[in-house]
Amino acid sequence: MSLPYAPRYAYYDGKSQSTSPSSSSFQTIDPSSATPIADIHSTSTTAIDSAVKSAQKAFPAWSATPPIERARILHRAAAILRARNDELARIETSDTGKPFSETSTVDVVTGADVLEYFANLVGGGGMNGETAQLRPDAWVYTTKNSLGVCAGIGAWNYPIQIALWKSAPCLAAGNCMVYKPSEFTPLHATPLAEIYAEAGVPPGVFNVVQGGGDVGAYLTKHPDIAKVSFTGQVATGRKVAGSAAGEMKYVTMELGGKSACVILPDADIDQAVDGAMMANFFSTGQVCTNGTRVFVPSAMKSEFEKRLLEKMAHIRPGNLHDPATNFGPLVSKAHYDKVISCINHGIKSDKATLLCGGPETPAWLASHTDKSYQNGYWVQPTVFTDCTDDMKIVQDEIFGPVMSILAYDSVDEVVRRANATDVGLAAGVFTNDLNLAHKVIAKLEAGITWVNTWGESPAEMSVGGWKMSGVGVENGKKGLEAWVRNKSTLVEMGGAVPTVFAKL
């Protein structure tokens, strides 16, 4: 039986390697119906070696290409991405289960934004170093140098966006990349490689390998990889970082969180509820920066919950290609089982109050015209209240549409409780008092913070976690620094070598 999408193989030397040896194969699944949509051929270690060699071969010429010329090529790639936005968004919807209303307006668009940003940055002098005059006859200058062949390991929740977040600064800085997409959402990688090639990126500069954790592990430890950029959960990230650091490789780790969404006492109720819903139910809760610990003043809690229940009606699951749909299934059966288990734990073990949702099959599925959806990984958006800090659902990253409401009585208290976690990816506050907002944000231990909004991460904004949530940043000017190594040179022009070994 033919599947909706063509098989996926490794991509290197500027082409799909359909004849290269494969260690095994698997199928990627449409989460909305649990049906296979493409065969994926895992890349063998021999083929991974070939992909790395292809990148090594391309590196000298690509790194020597003037930054402005690299910028022109990347701008062409961004233009192709925008022209093919809907086509690529449909692939993302099939692979991730996210509604087309989201993938068509966020995933490809924001990835193209980042590509344009780094093209502009290097084209406008972003690779320039610094100079400092030490004294009249001596000065220091620095240069930014490409690293070499880098590994990008993507995540399943924002496949093409994350691929671009990694490859855009990597390629702009003159590096080459071997990219491994998540085995759960691998369809985007080959189209992206083909778009780069069409734009003029030389063969070997952007390469793709396919497979699971074993492929990622081999790539991470490969002796010819200079840097590893990984996005994923904390436990896996610690292993990847440890492996890479042991080989003295550069690393960027964008890991998970259990972020605090703080509603301050003077906040507008409607805005606070809207923000909390965006922080919990966008992308079916499968966002690493989600603010799943929602802290609400005790005096406001009843009214907050009332408005939240009213607005929960605006969450619309259904046909993923209907523009009105704004809520999809979870990405896989394994993840579905995990989220349902967490919801059950919240009810049975944590004894939290279930305000809405729960582990049962969503009622709308029974009447949906597409009966295949009944086999998909659909869950109800779920809200627990009367939560306490020691509950498992409050402490653990669920990565699903599960909100925990926690009451508090003072600002000092909420700051202390918000920081009582070993992760620190994101945090946010909602308030009408901007002076108070800045004071609270300054005390929150997180690398990404918002005031009166949630989730927006523009290309200009450097993002990265504190504590166990990561190492380094992506995007913004600082994001380019993660893909270069600096060289400092001191020049003495006095006509004599300074020495302590002169004749007395």
Q: Can you give the length of the chain in residues?
A: 504
Q: What is the dihedral of CA 392, 393, 398, 400, to 10 degrees?
A: 170
- 173 with 247: CB under 8 angstroms? no
- Strands, E assignment, 75-201: 131-135, 138-146, 149-153, 176-180
Asked whether 96 and 157 are in contact (CB, 8 A), the reply is: yes
Neighbour tally for 82: CB within 10 Å? 15
Task: Return the structure tokens found at 84.
Answer: 């093919």
CA dist., res. 366 & res. 13, Å (int): 49
Residue 367 to residue 377: CA distance in whole angstroms: 16
Report yes or no: 71 and 119 within 8 Å, Cβ to Cβ. yes
Instruction: Please check whether residue 56 is in contact with residue 77, taking contact to mean a CB–CB distance below 8 angstroms.
Output: no
Residue 92 falls in the annotated catalytic set: no
Can you say whether the dihedral through the CA atoms of 46, 51, 52, 57 is positive or negative?
positive
> Does an H or E element contain 359, and which?
none
72 burial (CB, 10 Å; 0-12 / 13-18 / 19+) is middle
Residue type, 412: D
Q: What is the DSSP letter of 348?
A: H
- With the C-alpha atoms ordered 158, 160, 163, 167, is the resulting torsion angle positive or negative? negative
Residue carrying structure tokens 């990565």? 399
Catalytic residue among 102, 183, 254, 397: 254
Both tokens assigned to 156: 């399943």
Closest to 170 measured CA to CA, from 74, 83, 247: 74
CA-CA-CA-CA dihedral for 422, 428, 432, 435, to nearest 10:
60
Q: Which residues are catalytic?
A: 254
